[in-house]
Amino acid sequence: MKLNIRVIAPDRTVWDANAEEVILPSSTGQVGILKGHIPLLTAIDIGVMRVRIEKEWQPIILLGGFAEVKDNTITILVNGAEQVSEIDLNTAQKNLDKATKILNEAKNDKDKIEATQNLRKARARIQAANVLSN
β-strand pairing of 73-78 with 81-83 = unpaired
Give dist(CA 58, CA 61) in Å, integer: 10
Helical spans, DSSP H, in 63-133 = 89-105, 109-133
β-strand pairing of 40-53 with 56-70 = antiparallel
pLDDT at 134: 60
Q: Does the global pTM surpass 0.75? A: yes
Cβ neighbors of 34 (< 8 A, separation 6 or more) are 3, 20, 21
Highest mean pLDDT (candidates 38-42, 51-55, 90-94): 38-42
What are the pLDDT digits (tens) for 91-128?
888 888 888 888 888 888 988 888 888 888 888 888 88
Domains identified in the chain and CATH numbers: 3-84 (2.60.15.10), 87-133 (1.10.287)
- Secondary structure class of 89 (helix, strand, coil): helix
Give dist(CA 120, CA 60) in Å, integer: 14
The full 3-state SS of 106-119, as one line of letters, equals CCCHHHHHHHHHHH
